[in-house]
Amino acid sequence: MIYLDNSATTKPYDEVIQSFTKVATTYYGNPSSLHQFGVQAENLMTKSREQVGQLLHVSPKEIIFTSGGTEGNNMAIKGTAMKYRNRGRHIITTAIEHDSVHEPFKQLQELGFDVTYLPVSREGFVDPHDLKDAITAETILVSIMHVNNEIGTIQPIEEIGKILKEYPTVLYHVDHVQGIGKVPLSLRGAHIDLCTISGHKIHGLKGTGILYISQGVELSPLISGGAQELQKRSGTENVPGVVSFAKAMRLTMEHASKNSNKMKKMQSELKSQLEKHERIIMNTPAEGAAPHILNFTVKGIKGEVFVHALEEKGVFVSTTSACSSKRQKPSKTLLGMGKSYEEADQSIRISLSHFNDFNEITPTVNAIFTVIEELKKVMG
């Protein structure tokens, strides 16, 4: 098996599973309990928060543990909108966000918020000037993803942060789920107020993640109750998940540069070989893309059909994001880039991790070319 769907989810580190099991079986006390068993669990939470804060170069008090990217994005977007709605009801995002950003914006639009969806270029990049032109006196939030989960474009997060620094009443949220550990980003340097990270995209476990909330930023909680997580997210904490997330973060960040370089070389080699086929058109831009994502269109073959045919050869890829693929709708990212419905419907995403190796490139390319030839005979 060759697994090339790492933007959907990654294989957990062995150490992550071991840490989860250790905590779940030995330190299963409730962190809110007053007895020693509860204090032990609370101490593990505190150490994990400190570790994540150090890795991101922020205060531990700015780290909120969540169940992953979807909750983090919803918490940031809806929490900001509800908290600051009396200040203004205009919010800004892009036309190519992940559904966990796009859908909350649609919900807020139904509640009376005015939403601006920024367009992207034919290569998938946002123009910071478009953002600046969109800001009004009513604007309270801008939400822009760092790395696009489908085509890998790296948005100008730092440049946008400099623009938004001139607007202190506008909060800046960044979905960093696909960027963390692959493309460096300074939360402080980019003037980011809110940032989402997911555990299972960095070889952690599903159901784990964080939301960075800059000190001084207030949110209306999505979940009310016992005031856990610095009164931002109520509910008994997932201590084993928290500890395993911190472990995944540490292992990922310690080797980020080396692993990114490896993935970039693999991506480049895959791209050069795949481009040789007349039916393959690259959608991931040549410059300004993350090292782990390669998106291309196979002319004349539906992406869903291609994925299943390639699976029979032992190679696992995807079409759009995993959250959208079962809806059988073409990629809104590619449509937003000006691709035709057919081109978007015929797209394939390869996404790498450092667990992949160079010896997987040739069999992958051979399998892709073989599937194209086989499907040509069937589909014409």
Active site residues: 323
3-state secondary structure of 144: strand
**What is the rounded distance in angstroms from the CA atom of residue 136 to the CA atom of residue 170?**
10
**What is the rounded distance in angstroms from the CA atom of residue 347 to the CA atom of residue 332?**
11
**What is the rounded distance in angstroms from the CA atom of residue 18 to the CA atom of residue 39?**
22
Helix (H) or strand (E) holding 66: strand 63-66
**What is the rounded distance in angstroms from the CA atom of residue 196 to the CA atom of residue 178?**
10
**What is the rounded distance in angstroms from the CA atom of residue 193 to the CA atom of residue 51?**
20
DSSP readout, 105-173?
HHHHHHTT-EEEEE-B-TTS-B-HHHHHHH--TTEEEEEEESB-TTT-BB--HHHHHHHHTT-TTSEEE
| Residue 207 zone, left/alpha/beta (φ > 0; ψ -120 to 50; rest) | left
Helix (H) or strand (E) holding 175: strand 171-175
Tokens of 280: 């393959």
For residues 60 and 52, is the Cβ–Cβ distance under 8 A?
Answer: yes
Strand ranges of the sheet holding 114-118, from the earlier edge strand across to the other edge: 63-66, 209-213, 194-198, 171-175, 139-145, 90-94, 114-118
Residue 231: closest CA among 241, 221, 242, 217: 221
Angle at 87 between CA 185 and CA 97, to 5 degrees: 40
